[in-house]
Amino acid sequence: MGVEGIGARVTRKEDKRFVTGKGKYVDDVRVHGMTYAHFVRSPHAHAKVKGIDISEAMKKTGVVAVLTGKEIVEDKIGNLICGWMIHSKDGSPMKMGAWPAMAPETVRFVGQAVAVVIGETRNQARDGADAVIVDYEELPAAASIKAAIAPGAPQLHPEAPGNVVYDWAIGDEKATSDAFAKAAHKVSFELTNNRLVPNAMEPRAAIAEYDEAEEHFTLHTTSQNPHVARLVLSAFYGVAQEHKLRVIAPDVGGGFGSKIFIYPEEMVALWASKKVNRPVKWTSDRTEAFLTDAHGRDHVSKAEMAFDANHKMLGLRVKTHANFGAYMSLFSSSVPTYLYATLLSGQYNIPAIYAEVMGVYTNTTPVDAYRGAGRPEASYLLERLIETAARQFKIDPAELRRKNFITSFPHQTPVIMAYDTGDFNASLDAALKEIDYAGFPARKAKAKSEGKLRGIGLSCYIEACGIAPSKAVGSLGAGVGLWESAEVRVNPVGTIEILTGSHSHGQGHETTFAQVVADRLGISINQVSIVHGDTDKVQFGMGTYGSRSGAVGISAIVKAMEKMEAKAKKIAAHHLEASEQDIVIENGEFKVTGTDKAMALANVALSAYTAHNLPDGMEPGLKESAFYDPSNFTFPAGSYICEVEVDAGTGKTTFINFVAADDFGRLINPMIVEGQVHGGIAQGIGQALLEGAVYDDSGQLVTASYMDYAMPRADDLPSFKLQHTTTLCPGNPLGIKGCGEAGAIGSSAAVINAITDAIGNNKLEMPATPDRVWHAIQARA
Amino acid sequence: MYETTYHRPSSVDEAAALSARDAEAKYLAGGHTLIPVMKQRLASPTAVIDIGRIPALIGVEVSGDMLTIKAATTYFDIMNSADVKKSIPAIAHLTSVLGDPQVRARGTIGGSIANNDPAADFPAAVLALGATVKTNKRSIAANDFFKGLFTTALNDGELITAISFPVPAKAGYSKMRHPASRFALTGVFVAQMKNGDVRVAATGASQNGVMRVPGIETALKANWSASALENVKISPNGLIADIHGSAEYRANLIKVMAQRALG
């Protein structure tokens, strides 16, 4: 692998600028003549906008303009889109209400923008916004799934009667009913998957510039996928033409999915920059982030599983209600359907599955993909159900899982997914060994003798990553292809630039992508630069989410490298008077195999650009590009085991041990992979113990700041013990499966299973706050 | 934040004079409460009078059986004070579980009790120890000082200068931290005074702010031990109920924290 090649623990190239404060984020961008935007937001969860009086605001010092939804409509700016069509059971397309960037008539969640004030300074824009008088007529709100589907509930959108966006199903209903009819044992369970606020460290921001002479826009924005942003802003919103819009996503401080979407604020900043013919900057504050960044999760589900007399699974039936909030965000429709229900087979051989999902509008912030997106919900449901079954059957939860593991591949599940490879016993074995599972009963007994409640919990997850084969997702309703692009530019002196459509916002691509190139050519990663995040530099790309940058983004790079290497070999063979089949690449040189004849990469590159002596008919230059479209999803999987102690007096959970054994296929940089797993587990533990967005009945977000929304901190978390077991993904050149979301997907069920084991009461919802755990202990007693 | 005027007086008299001139001015100590609400535009004082650097307001003194902590002394300095550790180590412990290093570096004891946040730690120590709050006008007994949520006996412009704590025979503080804010979800300070009196105060629990807990005081006076509290019942009536803890949970915490405060 070499010291910097594939598999090496190389420290991150990008960290020098991050740890020395030299990163360049959107809010660091300052341009001449810049103005500032401040949004006027609804304090009501549901209200008619009867009128907006901007006269006082316009008199305020430094106010440049006040723009409202009326102008958005007049300028024929498009409504926000949802890019994945889902059809209900009855074949009807999902029922969506319009989402204008600024509400001209009706507001449907607290924080929805109704107007924007452009000011000379940030404070002056805010002064102006404070002076805008909005005449609201309050309407009754439906702030939860339960409230929204109740008879006589307030209606959010006339297009969606009963607030139902879709009533969708997957699997074979009859086969599943038959399985339950012949079952020897049945287990059923109801649970909530709590709503989360993404809380990227860097809040969203935009700075939009309009060049009147060129009729050209430039938008710096906090995006995980700048090309998608450009496409949506031009093709759907009509703010600018695609070839007249440059979108730059520079250093971005975390996304977790929340920066996939193209939000009203970024669009309004772009539109306003032309209206006022000045650059417009908007930076979200933390309260705005709580109120307007797309939230995650928020399911209420009922699940039942049928087993035969030998505890082999026969069938799974799931009914889920998913809360979409007030509007359908960009990928929201796909999250509780194709990213959720297709994973309900987990690691298990389940002959029949039937899952119904009802998507519901509520007067809350829109909900969309958040780290794991649907897969954590599936994993949590399934792994709690199996743990419940093991307790009901009084058999070892590891053994119940093992008995039902899929052991031969490929495996077609009853819910679309075809698992290509895996070894679920290997990861379970590794985790059981690391945590000393066999020694647990003795540890529990010892803890009990000291008056302490100790528990252990398992979670064996699988996820579908490497999103995604374009034809497959197209057939399921996706509005885009999910391939990735790459371009390899070898400069005349042999340094290399890799242009990628992936986007790094914490993942360390500048290091790992360079390692792949360094590994292939036998050069230093310092000879390789990774260029990303600018639509003027990279031709097109689909961005980073769904653990796709390794499996899809790197595969595109490999494909482009292969093309470049083939040409370079021809050049070297020509100079070395050898056959190109005999050329091998080692240590930065093109060598004739079995001889000492060699030509350095730099000389090959120089030759390509001087073009003085190239093979007949060869074009000059050494630059190749590729588009890579995966043939299947990838299926990272693993076993997480958590051991906890619960303080019976306070209900507080303390971690004794946390083990994660993952199969991610090929690891490019194990250190970075471990960092991804650590962060993912932190978010999974956050969901399990601490985090939860809470609305009151009127639709006010109770947890709108860090005083009430508990983010995990270092001292809330144990030291994680990580193991890797490896089966290479057969679907891509390096065998990569992806690692970005696993921690968030696998960990929460392990934590709750451990707590419920410790306290002897299985009825416990997330976040398992000390208050809830204490009450569960009392309920048991 | 709206524009404001910043003053940095060098004496208590100068601070009081600045305050007397401007009814809309606010004293600023550590700033942990005032600055956030100013940033949110929920407070817009015409002037802030920074009392955090007045030498006469900073420091710790022990005299006989009395520990005096001056009002603008930071939590960090209290936590590390040899006098505090020696005379009332429970107060040093309280500051060590108060906030985080950044909070402890800025926050002051005077700011904490003047604000009287119902989940702040220091009001529990002041009330349990029967401390005396000294102002630029008078001395106020702890029993008379705390008047409910964010309300105290202080008059407009009156400035706390020091808090004097009688050194107890025994004392302890135990706190269940709020999962998000790390304030006290419930914190209990127990004290056995040298005359045999037992005083117990709970913070974070009551809808009316810091409170004495007579049931626990009686039990501990009879028997200063955790087991003495096993059968004590704390009523959830009047206790805070929110997403982080029901009233019943807080009632339980009052007892459990009192037991753990005994050490």
Contacts of B245 in chain A (CB under 8 A): 769-771
Return the number of other C-beta atoms located less than 10 Å from residue A387's C-beta: 26
Q: What is the mean pLDDT of residues A378-396?
A: 98
Between chain A and chain B, the number of residue pairs with CB atoms below 8 A apart is 50
Q: What is the mean pLDDT of residues A492-499?
A: 97
ipTM of the complex: 0.96
Give the distance from CA B137 to its chain's centroid: 20
Across the interface, do A770 and B179 touch by the CB < 8 Å criterion?
yes
Residues in chain A: 781
3 state SS of B187: strand
> What is the C-alpha separation between A156 and A108, in angstroms, rounded?
7
In this structure, is residue A8 part of a structural domain?
no
pLDDT digits (tens, 9 = 90+) for B27-86: 999 999 999 999 999 999 999 999 999 999 999 999 999 999 999 999 999 999 999 999
pLDDT digits (tens, 9 = 90+) for B146-162: 999 999 999 999 999 99
Residues A514 and A367 grouped into a single domain: no
Number of domains in chain A: 3
Q: How sure is the predictor about A763, in pLDDT bands with cuts at 50, 70 and 90?
A: very high
Strand ranges in A230-312 using DSSP code E only, listed in sequence order = 245-248, 280-283, 299-307
Residues B104 and B17 grouped into a single domain: no
Contacts of A709 in chain B (CB under 8 A): 180
> What is the C-alpha separation between A121 and A20, in angstroms, rounded?
28
Q: What is the pLDDT, as a whole number, of residue A432?
A: 98
Residues A429 and A502 grouped into a single domain: no
Number of domains in chain B: 3
Q: What is the mean pLDDT of residues A549-553?
A: 96
Residues A597 and A716 grouped into a single domain: no
Query: What is the side-by-side order of every strand in the sheet holding B170-177?
Result: B170-177, B184-192, B198-203, B211-212
Residues A210 and A358 grouped into a single domain: no
DSSP for A112-163, written as a single string? -EEEEEEESSHHHHHHHHHH-EEEEEE-----SHHHHHSTTPPPS-TTSGGG
> What is the C-alpha separation between A217 and A241, in angstroms, rounded?
9
Residue of B nearest to A130 (CA): B41
Residue of A nearest to B249 (CA): A771
Q: What is the pLDDT, as a whole number, of residue A79?
A: 96
Residues B41 and B94 grouped into a single domain: no
Closest CA to B32 of B251, B204, B227, B181: B181
Question: Would you report the helix, strand and coil content of chain A in percent, each value rounded to 5?
Answer: 30, 25, 45
Cβ-based neighbours of B1, under 8 Å, separated by 6 or more: A123, B38, B39, B41
> What is the C-alpha separation between A414 and A586, in angstroms, rounded?
47
Residues A565 and A689 grouped into a single domain: no
Residues A281 and A311 grouped into a single domain: no
Q: What is the pLDDT, as a whole number, of residue A226?
A: 97
pLDDT digits (tens, 9 = 90+) for A77-135: 999 999 999 999 999 999 999 999 999 999 999 999 999 999 999 999 999 999 999 99
Q: How sure is the predictor about A2, in pLDDT bands with cuts at 50, 70 and 90?
A: low
**Which CATH number do you get for residue A57?**
3.90.1170.50
Mean pLDDT of chain B: 97
Residues A591 and A714 grouped into a single domain: no
Residues B225 and B139 grouped into a single domain: no
Q: How sure is the predictor about A444, in pLDDT bands with cuts at 50, 70 and 90?
A: very high
Whether the pLDDT of residue A288 is over 70: the answer is yes
Contacts of B234 in chain A (CB under 8 A): none
Task: Show which of A606, A628, A650 is a domain's final residue.
Answer: A628
DSSP conformation class of A301: E
Across the interface, do A775 and B249 touch by the CB < 8 Å criterion?
yes
Name the packing angle between helices A375-393 and A397-404 (round to 10°).
Answer: 120
Residues B188 and B152 grouped into a single domain: no
Task: Show which of B128, B144, B166 is a domain's final residue.
Answer: B166
Q: What is the pLDDT, as a whole number, of residue A524?
A: 96
The answer for B 41-80 residues in CB contact with A (under 8 A) is: 41
pLDDT digits (tens, 9 = 90+) for B76-112: 999 999 999 999 999 999 999 999 999 999 999 999 9
Across the interface, do A771 and B249 touch by the CB < 8 Å criterion?
yes
Q: How sure is the predictor about A380, in pLDDT bands with cuts at 50, 70 and 90?
A: very high
Mean pLDDT of chain A: 97
Q: What is the mean pLDDT of residues A376-386?
A: 98
Question: Which residues sit opposite A67 in a β-bridge?
Answer: A116
Residues A641 and A723 grouped into a single domain: yes
Q: What is the pLDDT, as a whole number, of residue A3?
A: 86
Task: Show which of B50, B67, B83 is a domain's final residue.
Answer: B50
Question: Would you report the helix, strand and coil content of chain B in percent, each value rounded to 5?
Answer: 35, 25, 40
Nearest CB partner across the interface for B256, out of A649, A706, A769: A649
Residues B72 and B153 grouped into a single domain: yes
Cβ-based neighbours of A174, under 8 Å, separated by 6 or more: none
Residues B256 and B221 grouped into a single domain: yes
Q: Where are the alpha helices (DSSP H) in A277-329?
A: 286-292
Residues A460 and A333 grouped into a single domain: yes
**Which CATH number do you get for residue B247?**
3.30.390.50
**Residue A287: which domain range?**
31-139+203-253+259-292
> What is the C-alpha separation between B98 and B86, in angstroms, rounded?
19
Nearest CB partner across the interface for B243, out of A130, A650, A702: A702
Report the phi/psi class of residue B247: left, alpha or beta, with left for phi > 0 and alpha for psi in -120 to 50: alpha
In this structure, is residue A190 part of a structural domain?
no
In this structure, is residue A196 part of a structural domain?
no
Residues B74 and B46 grouped into a single domain: no
> What is the C-alpha separation between A750 and A742, in angstroms, rounded?
13
Asked whether the beta carbons of A406 and A219 are under 8 A apart, the reply is: no
In this structure, is residue A477 part of a structural domain?
no
Q: Residue B94: in which H helix or E strand, if any?
A: helix B89-96
pLDDT digits (tens, 9 = 90+) for A671-683: 999 999 999 999 9
Q: What is the pLDDT, as a whole number, of residue A781?
A: 66
Residues B214 and B114 grouped into a single domain: no
Q: What is the pLDDT, as a whole number, of residue B1?
A: 87
Q: What is the mean pLDDT of residues A49-53?
A: 98
The answer for B 165-184 residues in CB contact with A (under 8 A) is: 176, 179-181
Residues B46 and B74 grouped into a single domain: no
Asked whether the beta carbons of A752 and A764 are under 8 A apart, the reply is: yes
pLDDT digits (tens, 9 = 90+) for A509-527: 999 999 999 999 999 999 9
Across the interface, do B181 and A707 touch by the CB < 8 Å criterion?
yes
Residues B129 and B155 grouped into a single domain: yes
Residues B148 and B181 grouped into a single domain: no
Task: Show which of B50, B66, B85 is a domain's final residue.
Answer: B50
**Residue B153: which domain range?**
57-166
Q: What is the mean pLDDT of residues A695-699?
A: 98
Return the number of other C-beta atoms located less than 10 Å from residue A393's C-beta: 15
Q: Which residue has the higher pLDDT, A2 or A332?
A: A332
In this structure, is residue A108 part of a structural domain?
yes
Task: Show which of A579, A595, A628 is a domain's final residue.
Answer: A628
Residue of B nearest to A653 (CA): B179
pLDDT digits (tens, 9 = 90+) for B104-142: 999 999 999 999 999 999 999 999 999 999 999 999 999
**Which CATH number do you get for residue A337?**
3.30.365.10
Whether the pLDDT of residue A1 is over 60: the answer is no
Q: How far apart are the first and last CA of chain B?
A: 45
Across the interface, do A770 and B245 touch by the CB < 8 Å criterion?
yes
Residues B162 and B67 grouped into a single domain: yes
Q: What's the gap in Å between the CA of A287 and the closest CA on chain B?
A: 10
DSSP for A36-56, written as a single string? EEEEEE-SSSSEEEEEEE-HH
Residues A612 and A640 grouped into a single domain: no
Residues A413 and A426 grouped into a single domain: yes
Q: What is the mean pLDDT of residues B203-222?
A: 97
Residues A588 and A713 grouped into a single domain: no
Contacts of B243 in chain A (CB under 8 A): 692, 694, 702-703, 708
Across the interface, do A774 and B249 touch by the CB < 8 Å criterion?
yes
* High-pLDDT (> 70) share of chain A, %: 100
Asked whether the beta carbons of A146 and A364 are under 8 A apart, the reply is: no
Q: Which residues of A touch B (CB under 8 A)?
A: 123, 126, 130, 287, 649-652, 689-690, 692, 694, 702-703, 706-711, 769-771, 774-775
B23 touches chain A (CB under 8 A): no
Whether the pLDDT of residue A379 is over 90: the answer is yes
* Angle CA B95–B98–B102, to nearest 5: 100
As a whole number of Å, the CA-based R_g of chain B is: 18
Whether the pLDDT of residue A397 is over 80: the answer is yes
